């Protein structure tokens, strides 16, 4: 059985992430969405909030699971005996960053394989841009799942 992990911060999950997860779920037997912990002050949403939004949005995908990443990715993979990593490519800057991470991970553990999908819809949408639009009271409902759209409004209202 081929299992692949999809690591990220998901602060918050966007429709771009969803597209990659859905496509991967048709290619591989199991997809594990790995939500990275990160320092609290560096994310808009807490780990728990990010996890809740991911789990709610993915509940209808039968072969998709959600887990927390709080170590180096290669240590998680070794512990869970997984060898495949999934990454989405939107832009040139993504490509450059992903190439660097891929080369470093390969040096650290040459049995890990990274697989890339090029994003299709809303290729330009990133979590950062979604937050920027939302903070200016823009409507992000086209770019994120329903629960994220609701949560991000609450979050920003509280902050202001």
- From the list 43-51, 52-60, 72-80, 146-154, the region that binds a copy of itself by CB under 8 A is 72-80
Which one of the listed residues 23, 83, 90, 153 is annotated catalytic? 90
Which one of the listed residues 25, 50, 127, 131 is annotated catalytic? 127
Q: Is 65 helix (H, G, I), strand (E, B) or coil?
A: strand
Encoded tokens for 135: 């903070």
90 as an active site residue: the answer is: yes
CA distance 101 to 49: 27
61 binding a copy of itself? (CB under 8 A): no
CA distance 140 to 134: 6
Judged by CB under 8 A, the chain residues 122 through 141 that form the site for a copy of itself are: 122-126, 129, 133, 136-139
87 as an active site residue: the answer is: no
Using CB under 8 A, pick the residue from 46, 48, 113, 154 that binds a copy of itself.
Answer: 113
| CA-to-CA dists, residue 116 to 61, 84, 102, angstroms | 20, 11, 11
């Amino acid at each position: 059985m081929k299992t692949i992990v999809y690591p990220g911060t998901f602060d918050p999950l966007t429709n771009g992430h969803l597209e990659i997860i859905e496509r991967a779920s048709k290619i591989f037997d199991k997809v594990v969405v790995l939500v990275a912990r990160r320092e609290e002050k560096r994310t808009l949403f807490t780990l728990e909030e990010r996890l809740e939004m991911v789990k709610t949005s993915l509940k209808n995908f039968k072969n998709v699971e959600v887990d927390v990443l709080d170590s180096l990715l290669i240590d998680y993979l070794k512990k869970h005996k997984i060898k495949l990593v999934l990454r989405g490519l939107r832009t040139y800057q993504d490509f450059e960053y992903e190439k660097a991470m891929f080369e470093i991970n390969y040096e650290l553990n040459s049995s890990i394989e990274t697989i890339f999908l090029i994003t299709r819809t809303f290729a330009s949408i990133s979590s950062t841009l979604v937050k920027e639009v939302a903070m200016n009271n823009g409507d992000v409902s086209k770019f994120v799942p329903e629960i994220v759209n609701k949560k991000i409004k609450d979050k920003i209202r509280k902050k202001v």
